[in-house]
Amino acid sequence: MTEMELVARLLADWQAACRADEVLGTLPVPDSEALVREVADRSLTTGGSPDVVLRGLASGLAAGDWHASGEVLQLQVGALMEVIAGLDGADHRRAAHVHTVISAAAAGVAVEAWRDRAEQDELTGLRNRAGWEQDARAVTAQRLPIDYASIDLDGLKAINDGPGGHAAGDQLLRDFGRRLEIAVRGTGGSVYRYGGDEFSATMPVSAGDLSAVLDQLVATPGVAAFSHGVARWPSEDLDVHTVVTKADQRMYERKRARKAGAAGLPKAPAE
């Protein structure tokens, strides 16, 4: 049997083992001839590539299948190793080492992907409150002065209660999030959605005035109406959470002023 034939057989056996598994059978089967080839080579001979090659291949597998969770990735890797260990001439000591290397690499990628997803708002794809908290720690550690904006989208409840229902409301949130991201990301800033109609944005002070960016955005035709309040860290307070509270207060003051029809501000719709 040639090496190509052996790899093809092992790949087919691995995929069959995954399909037969109660958990793995509900997910797409792994498909990595290169990983199978490396594992077989390391387990059947005294040669083989450095561990970094195995880690890279295993990370590629994990990056494609991370949604299956770290536990499932471990099962996938385990199924492959059982297939390899069943071959005549397999070195079980070397196979165990290979198993450890690729399991650790796959699990590491899965954890990083899970962390990224945990910090992402599912509806809009923006970072969420957990993402902001993570970024806030980085900003304060780097002592990077920023403007922080609290943003409240107008009229979401009315749209959710209207003929389009929550599907229309969800589309409004996605569209607004995209327009907000375009406006702020160009300045090197970041955008977040906390849930409901609550958004926030940050921008390095060195990049300009975030309040002016948002004033321009709210005046742009086709952009949903919103209220915002901006505060600056660390010049207004050394505690970034106090700065967030100040921005919240200013946003609500602006919203009340708009509802009252204050001069120079677009009137806010009734909630």
CB-based burial label for 98 (10 Å; 0-12, 13-18, 19+): buried
Instruction: Identify the residue whose tokens are 């980085």.
Output: 138
Angle between helical axes of 69-85 and 3-20 (0-180°, round to 10): 130
Section 37-65 average pLDDT = 77
- CB of 219 closer than 8 Å to CB of 144: no
- Name all contacts of 97-102 with Cβ < 8 Å and 24+ positions apart: 97/42, 98/39, 98/42, 98/43, 98/54, 101/51, 101/54, 101/55, 101/58, 102/35, 102/39, 102/54, 102/55, 102/57, 102/58, 102/61, 102/77
- CB of 102 closer than 8 Å to CB of 51: no
pLDDT, tens digit, 9 for 90 and up, residues 105-163: 777 776 666 666 678 898 999 999 989 998 999 999 999 999 999 999 998 989 988 99
% of the chain exceeding 70 in pLDDT: 88
Distances (CA, A) of 184 to 170, 172, 181: 21, 18, 5
The pLDDT assigned to 204 comes to 95
pLDDT, tens digit, 9 for 90 and up, residues 186-231: 888 999 999 899 999 999 999 999 999 999 999 999 999 999 999 9
Q: Which residue has the higher pLDDT, 175 or 59?
A: 175
- Residue 170: count other Cβ atoms within 10 Å of its Cβ: 16
Poorest-pLDDT segment among 10-14, 232-236, 260-264: 260-264
Q: How confident is the model at residue 70 (pLDDT cuts 50, 70, 90)?
A: low
Whether the predicted model's global pTM rises above the 0.85 cut? no
Amino acid occupying residue 8: A
% of the chain exceeding 90 in pLDDT: 47
